[in-house]
Chain A
């Protein structure tokens, strides 16, 4: 079988069809921007887009992904029609969101999927949508601020 990851086809070896998408991305495809945090879908560090929808890659198996477009943090910018980084990535830098930064790829993938669906989310919508992504450094306030910035600049 084949996966389409960030627009490029990747052939899945027979013996890897039963591994999680997270392990496949990190240890086969060499895309380490998607992070392991808990392995049971509770922290959100492994969030990717499947056909544009934010999904926990540690709870997704490669064999379930026929005909699915996988987008990881490495490919997020190319889903944006403009120049350079995706607006969410730009806002993350402008607001200086990351501290240790480890959870931020997942945060950005969740936020960008939210903004695609709801271009101008309310504070309650932001909080609800982003609550699946843990940040131990406590960047939650700056994350909300960055999402609001994207919505305002859009």
Chain B
């Protein structure tokens, strides 16, 4: 056993090193199915299934008959653990109360894919169902043993089985107080394993129900422990001063003055690393100590927004005819352009954006001789584990990351820099250390959604079809956004970034087409933000669709439907559905307008959005008063939860369209709190109506980001309908709706 464990670790490390992904922070999903390390599994009772599907690793039947589900998805409000619990319940014929769903720490289950990209249900439905089904069948075999009957006479019953004579056997009657390990050869092959979750939706008992998340009561009573709430005995309180600009260098700090403050345990400065941190006996003196340090920095103040904008000038790339990648190309653009009845050009820009989750990140780390404990919230605990190990020069398996519900993720919580700092300080000062970011740290020291600049030239034929589509754009790599610049530039030339180009190919039937792309790296740190490129890209595409419909004199809904290929029937259906629920075509009073847009997220989830726009001249505001969304994400595990996600996406979309923009000034991020970067508030939140379109027997697909992409264009199209002015730059404002002519 020992030998096998070692082999696994070495292979995994070599694999990661070979692919060069360590710096980019990806946890490799395929490797999650690596042989299980028995010593790391929960002790009793469990299933040992090396080299087979992962679902069995996440489930355990307990002696009281309840099922413990080590949810392999981090929780940030999307409720993946809830939906997947319903899959567990379906397979095991149990209720919500029979499931203990927990966020595992990194010692409890082998690495699983980080929680990003709205793939929790789409990717984990099947393994969870498979694992739960295997557990049910293992329990059935225990039932057969106990009753001395063949397994096929032991029928499914609630939380257990029913014997031919009507006797019930509950799981609690079957799970012994000793460890039972189901070996690999006892697992049923796929063709004989009954899968209740894969049955038609009408047969489902748990799937499709509006279960509420089991942590709601803890949340509404203030008992939920977020990372920021963690308290460890004898914990010390750390603080870190981060560089106040991109690449700023630490010049000096008055450490003596800080150390003289009673209660300060120590100050750590590493000029080579521009690290300056301190640790105190209580948190109340940290502010004074930071002030006393009076850290002086050298900042390159030349970088500003204008410089970045000029580097991301798509028209310059276009005039130089200089794009690194052609993503989509066919037909004959030149001929089509000449034969088009109408032609439109548009340049669409979206700004840098911040996650602005309400919980600023926090980490508590306790470096002990034999074990390093980390308490934090992250979308990838194994990444934090590896990062902390690397910083301390220890092995990953020496580090355990205790995970907590995340107070807002949105792609911004893959690393936990506060934990990394706490680890350094804990190792130096030999205490458990807490480091908490404040709001300014969040704005100044995390990564951002990149700026996008699109240029589209397109046209319409005399019969209302899209004649051609010539689309160029520049932005920055997202998935590899944080790799060192030189490596990054090589990657940018070799391959377009999958995150940045997400959703860039229109769903419409277009024979004459070309999409070109170049990546630009700037000193602004870039990485995942809700939906990655999908919303900026759909903003350009669906704005242009509206411009084409308008110039051709065709209703925007009709124009989309008549340009969708037959293969896009699921998108056409959500368009028809959103038209139905919003009463599309109804006339709008003065100073109001309606906008429509649609998109398919990750080639699987179709969403269409209609918004009502009102122009308020008194307060000089553009308001989204109502929004409708029809979405087809296949099988719906929990309609309430899916609706919540859609509502959240609509609000997020309104916020990014009307409110949000990160600007760079004097070598740093200009915005540092909510007065400068103010997400949408209740007073401006539209009423949202949702319709779920569920074709029979379809697999569940992405939800958490799927309704976002159409929102910005729907708003821009609605503003155009209300004012006749085309907004091609986000964020849109009252001023831009009247001063900027299209």
Contacts and interface: CB of A to CB of B under 8 A. Distances in A.
Contacts of A142: 644, 647
A37 B219 contact: no
B373 to A, nearest CB: 19
A77 B217 CA distance: 12
B683 A128 contact: yes
Interface in A14-34: 15-16, 19, 23, 26-27, 30-34
A98 B358 contact: no
Contact of A138 (B356, B436, B438, B650): B650
B220 A93 contact: yes
A103 B682 contact: no
Residues of A contacting B: mostly: loop
Interface residues of B, number: 62
A128 to B, nearest CB: 6
B184 interface: no
A101 B222 contact: no
A122 to B, nearest CB: 13
B228 interface: yes
B225 interface: yes
Nearest to A99: B77
B282 to A, nearest CB: 8
B9 interface: no
Given A93-B216, A98-B219, A100-B77, A23 B651 contact: no
A104 B219 contact: yes
Given A98-B216, A100-B407, A134-B681, A85 B221 contact: yes
Contacts of B407: 35, 100-103
Residues of B contacting A: mostly: loop
Contacts of B215: 101
Contacts of B76: 99-100
A45 interface: yes
A134 B679 contact: yes
A130 interface: yes
A139 to B, nearest CB: 7
A96 B648 contact: no
Nearest to B648: A138
A141 B216 contact: no
Interface string B344-364: 000000000001111110000
Most chain B CB neighbours (cut-off 10 Å) among A37, A74, A76, A128? A37
A60 B331 CA distance: 67
Nearest to B641: A96
Contacts of A37: 358-360, 439
Given A38-B439, A141-B687, A136 B679 contact: yes
Contact of A35 (B77, B359, B648): B359
Nearest to B229: A32
B688 interface: yes
A128 B685 CA distance: 11
Contacts of A96: 210, 212-213, 216, 640-641, 644
A137 interface: yes
B647 A32 contact: no
Contacts of A85: 217, 220-221
Most chain A CB neighbours (cut-off 10 Å) among B210, B225, B229, B359? B359
Nearest to A143: B682
Interface in A92-115: 92-93, 96, 98-105, 108
Contacts of B406: 100
Given A37-B359, A100-B357, A131-B682, A136 B221 contact: no
B675 A135 contact: no
A39 B220 contact: no
A108 B77 CA distance: 17
A100 B408 contact: yes
Contacts of A33: 221-223
A39 to B, nearest CB: 6
B675 to A, nearest CB: 6
Given A35-B359, A89-B221, A104-B219, A139 B644 contact: yes
Interface string A110-154: 000000000000000011101111111111111110000000000
B570 interface: no
Nearest to B262: A15
A94 to B, nearest CB: 8
B342 to A, nearest CB: 37
B210 to A, nearest CB: 8
A126 B675 CA distance: 22
B226 interface: yes
Nearest to A102: B407
Contact of A30 (B224, B226, B231): B231
B120 interface: no
B452 to A, nearest CB: 22
B728 interface: no
Contact of B284 (A19, A32, A76, A104): A19
Contacts of A140: 651, 682, 685
B121 to A, nearest CB: 16
B683 A101 contact: no
A135 B650 CA distance: 13
A96 B78 CA distance: 12
B222 A127 contact: no
B610 to A, nearest CB: 16
A54 interface: no
B77 A141 contact: no
A100 B418 CA distance: 20
B647 A35 contact: no
A72 B221 CA distance: 9
Contacts of A3: none
Most chain A CB neighbours (cut-off 10 Å) among B358, B359, B651? B358
A82 to B, nearest CB: 15
A138 B673 contact: no
A134 B652 CA distance: 12
Interface of A: 15-16, 19, 23, 26-27, 30-40, 42-43, 45, 72-74, 76-77, 85, 89, 92-93, 96, 98-105, 108, 126-128, 130-144
Given A42-B678, A140-B685, 13 more contacts: A33-B221, A37-B359, A40-B439, A89-B217, A92-B220, A99-B78, A102-B226, A104-B219, A134-B679, A136-B355, A138-B680, A139-B644, A139-B648
6 contacts: A19-B284, A32-B225, A102-B359, A102-B408, A131-B683, A139-B647
List the 6 closest A-B pairs by CB distance, nearest first: A33-B222, A138-B651, A99-B77, A102-B407, A100-B77, A73-B222
